[in-house]
């Protein structure tokens, strides 16, 4: 009998003793890796939306932390996203799938990039890296569109997006306030303030990231305020959502102002107009009021009633919209940035003219630049300071058409569906997505928005809107009733 008791004791406790011994002998990082696998698998199966949430939240950190093997945080999250999606699907977790029209649009755009890469005359490795960057963006879209199936999934991705963007914006405001930046970022020689760059390293790229985030916060804020007035059952939760969304929107817009990005400011105006127009008749009246406010602001800048640095930046927008000829103008510190932009823009047009159908190859702008440069602007900046010209230069008219088809078809479907959405969360996400598309579309006239994996956030918002529209339709008696309604 005693022997039987001893055998039972060994059978029960030997795994714990073995684990304790391993903990004393093996390095901590090895044990952490062993434990992380089962925990991550359980988390992914329980809350699949953690995959797109982590990918979106990683973008502000992409260049701040390098992992073993030289991987950035975003690259590591992309690898985890692919593996996690396989695990989730293998476990039989429910998914929403992907709209066929959107799949065709993405396939056309990625296919155009692959085709242009195959014909790249200069550097195919750079072309493949650019295709891989867009592949990560496609992954973000696919994960959001497929794995966001419940209200808490959408809330998780939105929280990851807005919290990470707001934290980066707060850091950018701190940079502006304390003058933490290189001398070239100073807004004026006699002032201690510098242009905010956040974690992106460049103010213009930082402004792109902000123009991708604040419309989403504003869309949620607009709809939440409407819910406060309409439905007493949701008054306090909606009020909390509205307060949080508008607080985040305020920080993001303040950081956008501190970036001193002229293209970012114009993009924000376009995004605000799109949000107002899409929100209903009252919003259309706000567009008129906003246009009047902008006119007053420009008049104050012209009259010298604003701080000199701010007024000079506002008035310099005219030089960006009607730039001089870089070949016939003397270069000065005041016109250097504008002339350099024009030189790169003309080089991009030259590339598109020399290779009209497939371009010089994705990611090959810098490699082709010496053959199309205008003296003395001989150093390539990687793009034409205009996303559309850059795409035409690198992927030709085929690529530009595919890109416009992807964005245009998405916007068309969302705008058509927006008036029929009944769920407040679905309306807020869709409204914010429309504002983001408009904001980035105008901003891209002066900057290339698809750098530094910024497209991951852009694509994730597109995918989130696809999921919101699909589940709102199902929850309200459309095609198939989904598992739960979007608030």
Q: In the prediction, which pLDDT does 4 show?
A: 44
Strand positions, DSSP E, 395-470: none
List % helix, strand, coil for the chain (3-state, nearest 5). 75, 0, 25
Q: In the prediction, which pLDDT does 479 show?
A: 41
Q: In the prediction, which pLDDT does 9 show?
A: 45
Mind listing the pLDDT tens digit of every residue in the chain (487 residues)? Answer: 444 444 454 455 555 555 566 556 556 545 555 555 566 666 776 788 999 999 999 999 877 777 776 788 898 899 889 988 988 887 777 777 899 999 999 999 999 999 999 988 889 899 999 999 999 999 999 999 999 988 899 999 999 999 999 999 999 999 999 999 999 899 988 899 999 999 998 999 999 999 999 999 999 999 998 887 776 677 788 889 999 999 999 999 999 999 999 999 999 999 999 999 988 777 777 888 888 888 888 888 888 888 888 888 888 887 777 777 776 677 777 777 788 888 999 999 999 999 999 999 999 999 999 999 988 888 898 899 999 999 999 999 999 999 999 999 999 999 999 998 888 899 999 999 999 999 999 999 999 899 888 999 999 999 999 999 887 765 544 443 343 334 4
Residue-wise pLDDT for 143-177, tens only, equals 999 999 888 999 999 999 999 999 999 999 999 99
Contact partners, residue 355, CB within 8 Å, separation at least 6: 121, 393, 396
Nearest to 90 by CA among 44, 131, 58, 140: 44
Q: In the prediction, which pLDDT does 3 show?
A: 47
In whole angstroms, give the CA distance from residue 213 to residue 313.
23
225, 280 contact by CB (below 8 A)? no
In whole angstroms, give the CA distance from residue 311 to residue 292.
17
| Count of residues in the chain | 487
Structure-block tokens of residue 100: 């066929």
Global confidence as pTM: 0.89
Q: In the prediction, which pLDDT does 202 show?
A: 92
In whole angstroms, give the CA distance from residue 142 to residue 123.
29
Residue 54 to residues 50, 156, 426, Cα–Cα distance (Å):
6, 10, 21
Q: In the prediction, which pLDDT does 27 show?
A: 60
DSSP class of residue 369 equals G
């Amino acid at each position: 009998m005693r022997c039987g008791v001893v055998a039972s004791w060994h059978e029960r406790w030997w795994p714990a003793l073995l684990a304790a011994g391993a903990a004393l002998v093996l390095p901590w990082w090895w044990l952490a890796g062993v434990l992380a696998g089962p925990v991550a698998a359980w988390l992914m199966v329980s809350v699949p939306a953690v995959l797109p949430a982590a990918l979106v939240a990683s973008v502000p950190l992409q260049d701040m932390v390098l992992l073993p093997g030289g991987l950035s945080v975003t690259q590591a999250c992309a690898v985890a996203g692919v593996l996690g999606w396989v695990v989730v699907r293998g476990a039989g977790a429910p998914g929403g799938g992907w709209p066929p029209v959107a799949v065709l649009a993405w396939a056309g755009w990625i296919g155009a990039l692959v085709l242009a890469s195959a014909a790249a005359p200069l550097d195919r490795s750079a072309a493949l890296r650019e295709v891989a960057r867009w592949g990560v963006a496609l992954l973000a879209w696919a994960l959001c569109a497929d794995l966001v199936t419940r209200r808490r999934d959408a809330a998780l991705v939105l929280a990851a997006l807005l919290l990470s963007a707001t934290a980066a914006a707060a850091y950018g405001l701190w940079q502006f306030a304390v003058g933490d930046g290189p001398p070239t970022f100073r807004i004026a020689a006699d002032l201690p303030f510098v242009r905010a760059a956040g974690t992106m390293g460049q103010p213009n790229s930082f402004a792109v990231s902000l123009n991708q985030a604040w419309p989403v916060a504003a869309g949620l804020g607009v709809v939440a305020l409407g819910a406060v007035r309409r439905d007493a059952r949701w008054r306090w939760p909606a009020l909390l959502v509205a307060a949080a969304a508008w607080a985040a929107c305020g920080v993001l817009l303040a950081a956008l102002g501190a970036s001193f990005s002229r293209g970012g400011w114009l993009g924000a105006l376009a995004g605000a107009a799109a949000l107002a127009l899409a929100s209903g008749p009252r919003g259309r009246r706000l567009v008129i009021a906003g246009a009047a406010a902008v006119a007053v602001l420009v008049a104050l800048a012209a009259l010298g009633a604003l701080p000199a640095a701010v007024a000079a930046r506002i008035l310099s927008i005219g030089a960006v919209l009607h730039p001089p000829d870089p070949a016939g103008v003397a270069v000065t510190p005041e016109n250097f940035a504008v002339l350099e932009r024009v030189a790169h823009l003309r080089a991009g047009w030259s590339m598109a003219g020399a290779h009209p159908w497939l371009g010089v190859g994705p990611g090959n702008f810098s490699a082709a630049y010496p053959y199309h440069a205008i003296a003395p602007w001989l150093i390539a900046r990687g793009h034409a300071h205009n996303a559309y010209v850059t795409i035409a230069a690198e992927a030709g008219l085929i690529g530009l058409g595919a890109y416009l088809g992807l964005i245009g078809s998405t916007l068309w479907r969302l705008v058509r569906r927006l008036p029929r959405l009944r769920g407040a969360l679905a309306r807020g996400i869709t409204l914010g997505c429309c504002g983001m598309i408009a904001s980035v579309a105008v901003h891209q006239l002066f900057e290339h928005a698809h750098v530094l994996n910024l497209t991951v956030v852009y694509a994730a918002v597109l995918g989130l809107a696809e999921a919101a529209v699909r589940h709102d339709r199902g929850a309200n008696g459309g095609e198939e009733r989904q598992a739960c309604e979007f608030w």
